[in-house]
Amino acid sequence: MRVVAIDGPSGSGKSTVARTLAAQLGLEYLDTGAMYRAVAFAALQRNIDPADADTVAKLVQDLHLVTDGPNVTVDGVDASVEIRGSEVTRAVSAVAANPDVRRELVSRQREWIRTRSGGVVEGRDIGTEVWPDADLKVYLTADLSVRAARRQQEIGASNQHDVAADLARRDAKDSTREASPLTQAADAVLIDTTGRTVEDIVADLLGRLP
Ligand code: DC
């Protein structure tokens, strides 16, 4: 069993670092944010208000989710593109703040890890909640402007200022919610990815693995 937990805010480089590290270690990689996004997508598809906690909690119980790297199918439908869209991005914080949704998804994430005897898992609460016994816990950060520029490139937005404002708003929501807020685990390695290459960061992490 070998588990690497990678947490941090949006645009901190989690996905790229997690994917690259997983490939080098020969482990699978789980993007838990894609799971929260998939639930938000399913709610919107069914015209359920993402803030309607009880209805969304019921929805998630029977939802069939299959994740494969950054891709996800929801009840058999490939939603890999839609989950990155602005509608889902706006709706996802409310879904992620729902304690019943978190309980269900955390349980599925633990099952994913157990089935594969480990993996590289990225999110907001992996080192604090999902797998506190991870072999290595990493908390990535980066300057807001750098995170906004990365996100802008990802979604092809035209105005970086709007992207930065959106990111700041979502980070504030994720960090102040009651259920498993985004926070650095006491024993996590803090890495600021501003101005560093993926190769450099991954080499750094490989050197820290017990
Ligand atoms: O990493 P991302 O932007 O795809 O995450 C989408 C949302 O889900 C974001 O608002 C944070 C939330 N999230 C969470 O609360 N816990 C996780 N383990 C992963 C993501």
Q: Indicate whether 159 pLDDT > 80.
A: no
**Atom 10 in ligand 1: which residue has the minimum CA distance?**
93
| For the CA of 109, the nearest atom of ligand 1 | 18
Express as a percent the part of the chain with pLDDT over 90: 80
| For the CA of 34, the nearest atom of ligand 1 | 4
Q: Is 37 in the pocket of ligand 1 (CB under 6 A)?
A: yes
Three-state SS string over 87-108 comes to HHHHHHHHHHCCHHHHHHHHHH
- Please tell me the CATH superfamily of domain 2-208, with its number: P-loop containing nucleotide triphosphate hydrolases (3.40.50.300)
How many whole angstroms separate alpha carbon 186 and alpha carbon 123?
A: 16
Distance 71 CA to ligand 1 centre (A): 15
Phi, psi of 74 (to 5 degrees): -115, 115
Query: Which of the listed ranges 85-89, 166-170, 187-191 does the model predict with the highest average pLDDT?
Result: 187-191
C-beta of residue 91 within 8 angstroms of C-beta of residue 44 = yes
Helices 198-208 and 14-25: crossing angle, nearest 10°?
60
Q: Indicate whether 155 pLDDT > 80.
A: no
Amino acid at 158: S
pTM score of the predicted model: 0.95
pLDDT of residue 196: 95
Average pLDDT rounded to a whole number, residues 159-180:
87
Distance 85 CA to ligand 1 centre (A): 14
For the stretch 47-77, what's the b/e string if a residue is b when 16 or more beta carbons lie within 10 angstroms of its beta carbon?
ebebeebeebbebbeebebebeeeebebeee
Q: Is 193 in the pocket of ligand 1 (CB under 6 A)?
A: no
**What are the Cα distances from residue 209, in Å, to 43, 58, 122?**
39, 39, 16
Average pLDDT rounded to a whole number, residues 30-51:
97
How many whole angstroms separate alpha carbon 10 and alpha carbon 96?
A: 14
Distance 137 CA to ligand 1 centre (A): 17
Q: Is 40 in the pocket of ligand 1 (CB under 6 A)?
A: no
Domain ranges, ordered by start, for the chain: 2-208
Query: pLDDT tens digits for 90-122?
Result: 999 999 999 999 999 999 999 999 999 999 999
**What are the Cα distances from residue 148, in Å, to 9, 20, 130?**
11, 21, 27
Least confident of 51-55, 99-103, 146-150, 151-155: 151-155
- From the list 11, 29, 12, the residue with the least C-alpha distance to 20 is 29
For residue 117, the 8-state DSSP code is T
Computed over every residue of the chain, the mean pLDDT equals: 94
